[in-house]
Amino acid sequence: MNRINKLFQEKKNILSIYYTAGYPNLGDTVAIAEELERSGADLLEIGFPYSDPVADGPVIQASSKSALDAGMTLKLLFEQLKDLRKTVSIPVLLMGYVNPLLQYGVANFCKSCAEVGVDGCIVPDLPMAEYEEFYEKDFKQYDLTNIFLVTPQTAPERIQKIDSLSNGFIYLLSSSATTGQNLQVSEGTEAYFSRIAALKLKNPTMIGFGISSKETFDKACQYANGAIIGSAFVKNLKADDVSGSVKEFMKTFKP
């Protein structure tokens, strides 16, 4: 059983934290992971930066630009993560866009993930059909979980297909906006979450986009197995006190 499946079997109200590799300082990637685990995070999503992060809001866009300007690449990220599993035991995903992944080579990417102990990845702009036809075999060969995204506009048939291709969890976008928007649980949003629940999916679900406080985290957990915090965490990071800013942020969720 992989780390992701084990986590969802053992815990409820799972807290996943996203941050950008190489931000706020180029060498902070593993130190942030270590501090997040110590501070109570259940799951980590490490973003590999890209020059055109279309699904991301201004906070994550700015962090990606900063990391790229400092010299972050996928090659460097894997070098930074080579000793990850000596100090970090919780599940770790890499999140980013398909262009850098294709440039690196999908099979090479999957192999590198396995070598450093990464459990899976989220690639929002990788089409499901292309994944199934060309890349699923590489993910399976290296026992990597590929996390698919669902939006309020995703058709039930597509969600069922995503469920059949998934072996970790399904990422429910709270809205079709970019990252960094505040979660607003309107009647429409509640109906969307209820529709998902009615499908009785075999995979657990996590809600992301707009989770920025303990209140919005708790609200999301009413509808899913947990929630993902990204922009609010990245915005809080201080280059001159990374460890302290991680601890301070996490106190809100894990006092």
Q: Which residues are catalytic?
A: 45, 56
- Strand order of the β-sheet with 170-173 is 145-147, 120-122, 92-95, 43-47, 14-20, 226-229, 205-208, 170-173, 149-150
131 close to 98: Cβ distance less than 8 angstroms: no
Q: Based on the number of CB atoms within 10 Å of its own CB, is 151 exposed (0-12), middle (13-18) or buried (19 or more)?
A: middle
24 close to 242: Cβ distance less than 8 angstroms: yes
d(CA 131, CA 232) in angstroms, rounded, equals 30
> Is residue 172 classed as helix, strand or coil in its secondary structure?
strand
144 close to 107: Cβ distance less than 8 angstroms: no
Residue in the block written with tokens 């053992």: 10
143 close to 179: Cβ distance less than 8 angstroms: no
Residues 6+ apart with CB under 8 A from 216: 182, 183, 210, 227
68 close to 51: Cβ distance less than 8 angstroms: yes
Cβ atoms < 10 Å from Cβ of 230: 27
